[in-house]
Amino acid sequence: MTFRYALELAYRGTNYHGWQIQPNASSVQEEIEKRLTQLMGNIPVSVVGCGRTDTGVHASYYVLHFDSDKELDVNQLVYKLNKMLPDDISIFSARQVTADFHARFSALSRTYHYFIHQKKNPFSLDSLHVISELDFDAMNRAANYLLGKQDFTSFSKLHTDVKTNICTVSEASWSQITKDTWCFEIKADRFLRNMVRAVVGTLLEVGYGNLQESELLTIIESKDRGKAKLSVPAHGLFLVDIRYPDFSVSKK
């Protein structure tokens, strides 16, 4: 009999080349699989994550699943993993889930935050320092063009292996966190590689006054990555939420 478990966790992506295992580069997935394999008596364990995050991107909330041929004490699993994992990866919870639960394909939506700060601050290393003044009202009006079901090829990394570039965006807006800190929140059923960083980079050009609000729609309709602006750096980006049906896994 096989048992399926879901883990809720967080990680700081600064020291990793993204979530996914890759040759000759450290990854969050590799760290977790290595520790789980040790816990299972060196029987190899493969985990499936809710999605990829690129090099340097963080996750304040992430979900993975894995299968085991034996029933596990979930409290002990969390305790032991946290003792073994590096300080920049933290396991929140573990729970047994149904066999049809899939961390990636069962997800209904994902939410990302991108943080910027307008005053130099040594404690804002996971946020983009922007010196110029920004028109956040214009940026929010432009962000409205992102809403709905559309082809986001213009904001996707080229030559990816996905079958479609169509995504449904349900939320996209900027909000002020503190006097000098702003956050862009975007929620969708799925995201393309580099999509959020390319969107933020393009919206910043609206904020600088270099791009008209309505030009965002023109960029989307062009389905041409060359029409969108440069992507912002990875260190300001966080995956913050994943939603599943039937509360198979729920954020605490």
Distance of CA 33 to the CA centre of its chain: 20
Q: How much of the chain is helix, strand and coil, in % rounded to 5?
A: 30, 30, 40
Alpha helices, DSSP H, located in the chain: 28-39, 74-84, 136-143, 195-208, 215-222
Distance of CA 242 to the CA centre of its chain: 9
Question: What does the alpha-carbon distance between residue 174 and residue 82 come to, in Å, rounded to a whole number?
Answer: 34
Is position 54 annotated as part of the catalytic site? yes
54, 42, 61: which is closest to 13 by C-alpha? 54
Question: Pick the catalytic residue: 54, 73, 100, 180?
Answer: 54
Burial (CB < 10 A; 0-12, 13-18, 19+), residue 225, is: middle
Residues known to be catalytic: 54
